[in-house]
Amino acid sequence: MKTNYTFLLFSLLVMVYSCAKETAEIIPPDPEIDTWVLAQEYNQNLSSVSEGWIVKYQQKEESEVYTVYMKFNTDNTMSILSDYPAMEYLKEQTHVNYSLTGFLNTELTLDTYCVWHKMYDDFGGPYKFIITRQANGNYLLQPKDQTVPQNYELVKATPGAMAELEANITKQKEIVKAKDKIRQIRNILIHFTSTEDSCYFSNILLTGEIPMQGAVSFDTDNNLLQVIYRDATKQLITLSENYEITEEGITLENPMSFLGKEVSEFKLKKKEGSHDIEITAAGKGISGQLLHAKSPGVVPYPDIAKHYTTTASWCPLFTCKGETLGPVYRQFNESATYGSFTIFVDYFGYNGWYINGPATNEYSWFYETFSILNEYTVRYTSGGVSRPDTYPDISPLRDLLHQEDGYIVLYKKEKYNDSDLGSIILIDPNNNSNQFIIRVTNRTDNKSFWDSIQWNNVAYAE
């Protein structure tokens, strides 16, 4: 009766493995062999080889071949050394637990995370094998859970094979170091591009053979560098070039020409404690910086401060934003009732703010005078008030407008209403998050003002 049950169990197992052959070539068990006993025998044999064992692993025919050395110990631990290109696995890993067990087949399982698990995480490599001893004394390893049948031979390590493995490890270490350096440069550029802080302008500053400053941007998804600067005639020059990341910085696909001199590479180094990047070299005698700055590296528009303060406009204030301006504007907006809030320039010879309420007599004129601090910065100074008691809550906002360092002027094509012509942004040079955003509406005097701008010569226009 017991014999019949044994035959029935074996028949069922054969049927199971016959079905499994459609997805994987499973080695069927030999009913005459006790796999538990065989596992102990394999373990004794593997651990008795003092020179250790080597297996060549290749996931697919077209993929890389990796060599893994395994030295089995009698306490079911092993030492592993491989040439898999990950720095932490290019050195010996000791005390890796493994198990050799038997049920349907004899199985070798790596229980401690090691290079086999790393390959599993990276591309689905195996760390569980069906192990079978061959007539020549080597062992056949078949990945247990893979649907495509693959066999790898575990052979005794020889001095020649170990020398080859050590040479491969040395080579892979150099490759990994190079890749790590490239990854570090890429991360530096991504961090420079994605940093969100109070800095508004991303600038490039070159010194030495090419004294030049401008605006810089990186498209790190497409490896595209853009540099904007002005030539001696104040004309806007825009250069765009694809780049390749190297161990030391970036190499341009084609050289960029700055002020008549060509630059084909930038060697880069992150400045400690800063988001900025040091340009250690950009050709012979050229160095510089890539930096987040509170002032633009390229003038937004030639003499924009003079243009803004001398060209007539009548534009509503859209909003104020930033750490300081935002809360003050919201407080005024919530406490005051007004129909319009207009910033005007050269309106019948006057500059300032006009606040108009819903009722006939609810209005105030806040007059301003201008001082041009540099080519792109304007300072406002109070020039008197008409009907000051109508909107007393405006005082804190005016106080911020009157700061000594003034405001950087930008012309933007961005619209806050479909009928608008564009917008004017006044930016706090001490904290670029603080901004007055002014709509340029489609009225006659604004059209004249807007049409006088040469848009092909405006930086930061979008």
pTM: predicted TM-score of the whole model, two decimal places: 0.76
Same domain, 286 and 400: no
Pair (66, 211) in one structural domain: no
Q: Among 129, 147, 111, which residue's Cα sits nearest to residue 42?
A: 129
For residue 125, the model assigns a pLDDT of 86
Mean pLDDT, rounded, for 363-371: 93
**Among the listed residues 71, 73, 185, the one whose alpha carbon sits nearest the alpha carbon of residue 81:** 71
Q: How confident is the model at residue 296 (pLDDT cuts 50, 70, 90)?
A: very high
pLDDT at 389: 81
CB-based contacts of 354, cutoff 8 Å, min separation 6:
340, 341, 342, 344, 363, 364, 365, 366
Residue 182 lies in a domain: no
pLDDT digits (tens, 9 = 90+) for 305-329: 999 999 999 999 999 999 999 999 9
272 and 238 housed in the same domain: yes
Closest CA to 188 of 117, 268, 266: 268
Per residue in 87-141, pLDDT tens? 999 999 999 999 998 777 889 999 999 999 999 999 888 999 999 999 999 999 9
Q: What is the CATH number of the domain that holds 243?
A: 2.40.128
* Judgement on whether residues 448 and 389 belong to the same structural domain of the protein: yes
pLDDT band at 6 (very low <50, low <70, confident <90, very high): very low
Which pLDDT score, from 0 to 100, does residue 11 have? 45
Which pairing describes strands 286-293 and 128-133: parallel, antiparallel, or unpaired? unpaired
Could you read off the pLDDT of 17-46 as tens digits, one per residue?
444 333 334 444 455 567 788 889 999 999
Reported as a pLDDT band with limits 50, 70 and 90, residue 152 is very high
What band does 70 get if pLDDT is binned at 50, 70 and 90? Answer: very high
Element (H, E) at 115: helix 115-123
Dihedral of CA 301/306/311/317: which sign?
A: positive
Structure confidence at residue 32 (pLDDT)? 58
Contact 292, 202 (CB under 8 A): yes
Tell me the residue range of the domain where 374 lies.
Answer: 304-457
For the chain, state the CA radius of gyration. Answer: 37
In degrees and rounded to multiples of 5, residue 131 shows phi and psi of -115, 130
In tens, the pLDDT along 222-258 reads 999 999 999 989 999 999 999 999 999 999 999 999 8
Asked if residue 151 and residue 93 are part of one domain, the reply reads: yes
The least confident of 130-139, 207-216, 387-396, 427-436 is 387-396
Q: What is the pLDDT of residue 80?
A: 97
Compute CA distances 200 → 15, 68, 401, 422, whole Å: 71, 52, 19, 20
User: Is residue 113 situated within a structural domain?
Assistant: yes
Domain boundary among 246, 261, 293: 293
Cα–Cα distance measured from residue 301 to residue 315, given in angstroms and rounded to the nearest whole number:
19
What pLDDT was estimated at residue 33? Answer: 67
Task: Indicate the helix (H) or strand (E) that contains 439.
Answer: strand 435-440
C-alpha span between 72 and 61 (Å, rounded):
28
Residues 446/314, Cβ–Cβ less than 8 Å:
yes
Specify whether 277 is located in the same domain as 142: no
Cβ-based neighbour number of residue 271 at 10 Å: 13
